[in-house]
Structure 1
């Protein structure tokens, strides 16, 4: 049984940095059981209806600007898996989840940064998935729940985003310290994740301390992948924090394992 993961993809520079967090992700990819395929929900692919990729081989999308030129030379030519894409279609149909198929879109940086650190050889099939911030957290959770049976078949399900992600609050002079408001929100989140407290988590925006700063309305797409990942482990309600650190004062680098 594969776990599901929520992984913070940080800033694009993470792709070429060597630090505590990148080293952790590299080691995680080396020590986890090798998945048959990866289903990844990315904060950088938003759509009003759930999209399921069915791509033979992905291009690499550089959906950012103004960064080191080395970033724009990175390629992550992962392949898709038509059989698993079809199985996802069947699971969504059975669960009543509306969806569409996307046959051309490449991997955005929310996907390839994480995947490249975990599996640098791009030799594991990937099914890319969109997220929808207009849905309720419960609806997002239930989309992940519809896919839970894939974990028993060796499929790794990942939500890629960030638990604290407020670009307007970042401090680009990085002194290694985390803002108190960010810590308070992330501590609240950790407690309720570890207790699988869905009623509280589903109304995080009104009950969690500093939620309006940690998950601003304009940036909730980075937080919500955690519900897709968590829902996919509804059959094994266990949550473990594998890593947490912060950059730029409040940008969280956290990795949660579910199941």
Structure 2
């Protein structure tokens, strides 16, 4: 089975650890997938004008101390990027930030899967983020799980309550419609085409992990919503996965 790519939006920073339903979902998701050989993970928090690739033997993190790197995979990724003309470099100093270790902590709490973290260039156009993801697509055939971690809809907690704010829901529903039909022409211009794009994703980098995960699914144009909960903003999309795995739905924790 070829590995899918995932986009995991784990809600507002500092709240993910309290979202029990989402924690359960992530554990079930990991159990439903073949155990990956390694994980390649993009986080919007790690910014760099050049594409950086973590290359530490042991990942540095406060809350996921057993995470290991994979230097061989880091070098492989370096060559994939170089072959596509993508400026890149290795980095053996970067720590795993909370947008990286939070999903990993719940999916693989024993830290048994090596992790290679990748930076995000906040100045790139959406189609350039997608291109970087495409360069990584061959890794899925090597049982490498590619994950974009962050949030598609930000600032959901301005007015806490059981129902999401109307603007957030409008953007989220628009995004789901485009993903389900793989409408990249529109998604590349989400800032002009999406309702409330400025409120939902005020910084361009905030959409980068999603676009990178989409690109990594090439050539399969198959998007499935596996989990979404409001108002905290937690969601999970699978790209390029097998048909029938998970069911689209809102406010739910699907059986995988």
Query: Is 1:238 matched with 2:227?
Result: no
Alignment-derived partner of residue 196 in structure 1: 182
Query: Is 1:170 matched with 2:157?
Result: yes
Query: Is 1:252 matched with 2:238?
Result: no
Give 1:14 shift.
3.9
Instruction: Give, in whole Å, the separation in 2 of the partners of 1:10 and 1:180.
Output: 17
Instruction: Give, in whole Å, the separation in 2 of the partners of 1:75 and 1:124.
Output: 12
Alignment-derived partner of residue 19 in structure 1: 20
Instruction: Give, in whole Å, the separation in 1 of the partners of 2:19 and 2:166.
Output: 26
Query: Among residues 121, 144, 163, which one is paired with 2:133 in the alignment?
Result: 144
Contact 1:14 1:113 in 2 (8 A): no
Query: Is 1:53 matched with 2:54?
Result: yes
Alignment-derived partner of residue 103 in structure 1: 92
Instruction: Give, in whole Å, the separation in 2 of the partners of 1:18 and 1:227.
Output: 25
CA displacement, residues 103-161 of structure 1 (integer Å, 9 cap, x when unaligned): 11121101000100111001100000001121000000000000100000000000001
Q: Go from structure 1 to structure 2 and tell me whether the alpha carbon gap of 1:203 and 1:192 turns closer, same or farther (over 3 Å shift).
A: same
Contact 2:41 2:100 in 1 (8 A): yes
Instruction: Give, in whole Å, the separation in 2 of the partners of 1:97 and 1:106.
Output: 23
Query: Is 1:30 matched with 2:31?
Result: yes
The TM-score normalised by the length of structure 2 is 0.89
Give 1:18 shift.
4.7
CA displacement, residues 187-217 of structure 1 (integer Å, 9 cap, x when unaligned): 1111111111111000000010111111113
Contact 2:39 2:146 in 1 (8 A): yes
Q: Go from structure 1 to structure 2 and tell me whether the alpha carbon gap of 1:78 and 1:23 turns closer, same or farther (over 3 Å shift).
A: same
Alignment-derived partner of residue 244 in structure 2: none
Alignment-derived partner of residue 153 in structure 1: 142
Contact 2:12 2:233 in 1 (8 A): no
Q: Aligned Cα RMSD in Å?
A: 1.4
Q: Secondary structure at the match of 1:151?
A: helix
Query: Among residues 58, 68, 71, which one is paired with 1:82 in the alignment?
Result: 71
Unaligned 5+ residue runs, structure 1? Answer: 62-73
CA displacement, residues 65-106 of structure 1 (integer Å, 9 cap, x when unaligned): xxxxxxxxx333211111111110110111111001101112
Contact 1:29 1:118 in 2 (8 A): yes
User: Equivalences for 1:66-77 in 2 at 5 Å?
Assistant: 74-77=63-66
What is the aligned length? 239
Instruction: Give, in whole Å, the separation in 2 of the partners of 1:211 and 1:179.
Output: 14
Instruction: Give, in whole Å, the separation in 2 of the partners of 1:243 and 1:18.
Output: 13
Contact 1:14 1:22 in 2 (8 A): no
Alignment-derived partner of residue 41 in structure 2: 40
- 7-16 or 18-27, larger mean C-alpha shift: 7-16
